[in-house]
Amino acid sequence: MPIPEDVTGDEIDKDVRQELLSLPKTLAEDVAKNLVMVARLIDEDPEGAYGYSKVALRLASRVAAVREAAGFAAYATQKYSEALAEFRAARRMSGGVELWPVMADCERGLGRPEKALDMAGAPEANKLDKAGQVEMRLVAAGARRDMGQLDAAIVTLQSPELAAGSVQPWTARLRYAYADALLAAGREGEAREWFAKAIEADRDGSTDASDRLAELDGVDFVDALDETETETETENENGAESETESDGDVVEEATDAEEAEDPAEGKAGSDEAGHGVVDRDED
């Protein structure tokens, strides 16, 4: 797959670069460039990111960072079985537990929420850092919802991290998930409060909390572009109607003039003009 000229491979994380030192220099550079493309495209063009991840995987399947990138690309395209296999391989190579929450979420994607809950209670979950623990909580709550256990999902999300006043990278998503669960349970007033709190913490627009809150408040947004296009169409239609009326006036004036000049031919001229108008309308 083509690599843009502005991609050098130096953009990758230093830890990943360290892993690639085990490869020959030219090969390491090629792998690095493909990994950069995966990171660049995974949000906007998941299928494109997936394609680059397969190239990197073909070049260096024994590098943990490559298997991890391939896992996230497959996950982004909802290829959960493939993603889970790659995450497991990366975890075996690295020995870390960072991927445990997303592995559990793959189980959800495969229709196995019970397995995801088992993973949430496994010893590996206790080894996660704070961010990982929050992710695991989100996955567990999602699994509860998958099983129709709304109240349990709400309780799962109630945590010190949810109640904390400080804003962390996970705060907006945690508050959003809590608001969404409350709304699903019919607790609209509380849901509105937490969507508002999610907006306060959502500094990079990672959620659509503002849209959800507006929907609850009955606010209907109108696309300014659509409104302008509608006005233009109306003006064009009015202009066309005016032109048609003007054409009709000209035809009528011509007919009157012909009748005045030759009374004997007046009827035939009127019929011909009338047929002309009908033919134009049919066209």
DSSP for residue 9: S
Q: How far apart are CA 27 and CA 31, in angstroms?
A: 6
Contacts of 183 (CB under 8 A, 6+ apart): 191, 212, 216
The whole-number pLDDT of residue 165 equals 87
Whether residue 209 contacts residue 199, with contact meaning beta carbons closer than 8 Å, is answered with: yes
The whole-number pLDDT of residue 267 equals 35
Q: Which candidate, 245, 248, 257, places its Cα nearest to that of 276?
A: 248
Q: How many helices (H) and strands (E) does the chain have?
A: 16, 0
Q: How far apart are CA 251 and CA 168, in angstroms?
A: 75
The whole-number pLDDT of residue 31 equals 96
How high is the mean pLDDT in each 10-residue block of the chain (283 residues)? Answer: 91 92 94 96 96 97 96 98 98 95 98 98 96 97 97 96 91 96 96 95 90 85 54 57 52 48 40 34 38
Whether residue 42 contacts residue 76, with contact meaning beta carbons closer than 8 Å, is answered with: yes
Buried b (16+ CB within 10 A) or exposed e, 1-38: eeeeeeeebeebeeebbebbeebeeeebebbbbbbbbb
Q: Which candidate, 54, 55, 40, 46, places its Cα nearest to that of 8?
A: 40
The whole-number pLDDT of residue 205 equals 87
The whole-number pLDDT of residue 142 equals 97
- The alpha carbon of 99 is separated from its chain's Cα centroid by a whole number of angstroms, namely 23
Reported residue count of the chain is 283
* pTM for the full predicted model: 0.75
